[in-house]
Amino acid sequence: MQSIQVLRLAVVLLVCSSFVIRCSEAAYTLSFTHMLSEKAKEDHNAQEKGAWPFPDPDTVEYQHLLRQYDAVRHRRMLAGTPSTYTFVEGNVSISFIGGFYYSTISVGTPAVPFLVALDTGSDLFWLPCECQSCAPATAPIYEDYGVSKALKVYSPKASNTSTAISCGSSDCPAIISQCQAAAGEQCLYEQNYAAVNTSTSGRLVQDVLHLIPDMGAPTATQVPVIVGCGQTQTGILVDGFGPPDGLIGLGLENYSVPTTLARSGLVKDSFSMCFGADFAGRVVFGDIGSTAQQSTPFAPAQPGAYNTYYVGVETIIVGGDTITVGMSAWFDTGTQFSYLESATYKLFVASFDKQIAGYTRTTEPQLFEYCYLTRDDIVNAPTIDYVLSGNATFPIGYPLISLFFQNGTRGGFCLAIIESNINLIGVNFMVGMNLVFNREQRTLGFEETDCLSLMSNSGPAPAPNAGGPSPSPGPKASASSPTTRPPNSSTTTPGPAAAPAPSQASHAAAFSLATLLLLGLVHVLL
């Protein structure tokens, strides 16, 4: 048992508030903060954008909103250079409901800017193009969150560097192509997403993505990438909930942008993410982590198919109980809470419930099944650890979430895990960890980390490109930031500590995607 401070908010929607370079050519860091935090609310009010459009966190409505995002998402599931680089458009900050990273990029010659989503759950880079069915040219939902954005349409004919990809080309991926036998035909594609009736289709072209070094003279670099000329979008891609200005897939397939950039020698094929307890964190592309981290191999979603970030889970330790599970679980940074298949869930919650002493379980219907009454911020609860393949122990720092009464007062806490038919580790189980998705080694590295210290110890942000917006100040520490494994805790698990600088060996550089991290409703996963 240990004293645990209950997580006041679940990590729902995260917005990049600034970007900073660590004092190393090996990594480029982006910091982000919670979209629904007090800081985001203050910024919204300062812009005089009208009433704050979200419920306050100390309300039942807020927690219903979190569960609604997850529910929609999971219904869909069941159906070498020494410089670092960033996009020439610089950093962009908007608040937009969606399970994506957002960035302004420039494509083609002359360069045209696009505000695209960056999706860790898919692979294709596509833009609205030669539109037969695309999202409207304006997106009112952007304006709802303080941004006026005119959307772009990509034109291969208007770009001097655009070339068509033919069916016989190695750049025409069989997994999405609609090619028949004729090698001379253009490589047509159709990408279907798990969201109901959601897809993009068109033709594939090659064009250049514009990058600039983070340090030194701002000399532009153009990197050839595969681009989907998205002529027809359906489902959430056109109904106002998806990314209307295009999407960059960050998945594991060989036609994804990260794979292409790594193959070019600009970056190591790895990135890290760190989620702080104060709803701030950072993303580092090119980071392979530290020698102190633990690691576990990716598990194939299907035999031989490494197309999502699954890992093997051998046992789950709840306090003094060890539950043998032998399952695979998906690390999903686009889902707020965590999920277990029914049989494992029943063993898990039964063990937790029998070890939680001195608290009365409420019989009132709640968002979670196991909720307990207390007015205390600190509760005594069993520790929870997932033992992953290779005997790597992944400690769960924030398994609990506050329970609020209708009048907004704190009434207790809930075990924030949900019975399902999938095994999924969501953001609430990742808080306080630095996660390294090493795609080259097919491993997930992790280390308990003070994400806020990582950001505060980073160097200052560079001046953005003259044509791009200036980054806003980075998040500040909160005196009330919760800690579930305090340094003086009696638990044998070590407390959070600042992570070492990323290793500089065996990779050319890190590459910034200068993005927003938005985790929530719309994450169109394959």
Which residue type occupies 317?
I
Q: What is the dihedral of CA 140, 226, 471, 244, to 10 degrees?
A: 10
In whole angstroms, give the CA distance from residue 288 to residue 294: 12
272 closest CA partner among 120, 74, 109: 120
Helices and strands counted in the chain (H then E): 6, 30
29 closest CA partner among 259, 278, 214: 214
Residue 269 bears catalytic tag = no
- Assess contact for 31 and 475: CB atoms under 8 A: yes
Q: Is there a cis peptide before residue 460, judged by omega within 30 degrees of 0?
A: no
- Assess contact for 43 and 471: CB atoms under 8 A: no
Residue 43 bears catalytic tag = no
- Side-chain-side CA neighbours of 179 within 13 Å: the count stands at 21
In whole angstroms, give the CA distance from residue 134 to residue 152: 11
372: CB partners within 8 A, 6+ apart: 356, 359, 360, 361, 362, 379, 403, 412, 413, 414
- Assess contact for 413 and 450: CB atoms under 8 A: no
- Sole residue written with tokens 């997850």: 70
- Sole residue written with tokens 């305090």: 486
- Assess contact for 334 and 520: CB atoms under 8 A: yes
| Catalytic residue, candidates 70, 119, 214, 287 | 119
Cβ neighbours around 440 below 10 Å, total: 13
| Catalytic residue, candidates 70, 245, 332, 450 | 332
In whole angstroms, give the CA distance from residue 247 to residue 260: 15
Dihedral pair phi/psi, residue 16, rounded to 5°: -65, 120
313 closest CA partner among 291, 344, 347: 344
- Sole residue written with tokens 């750049």: 171
Strands (E), 42-187: 85-87, 101-107, 112-119, 125-133, 163-164
Instruction: Concatenate the DSSP letters of all residues of 367-385 into one string.
Output: SSS-EEE---SEEEE--EE
Query: Strands 424-425, 321-331: parallel, antiparallel or unpaired by DSSP?
Result: parallel
Q: Catalogue the active-site residues.
A: 119, 332
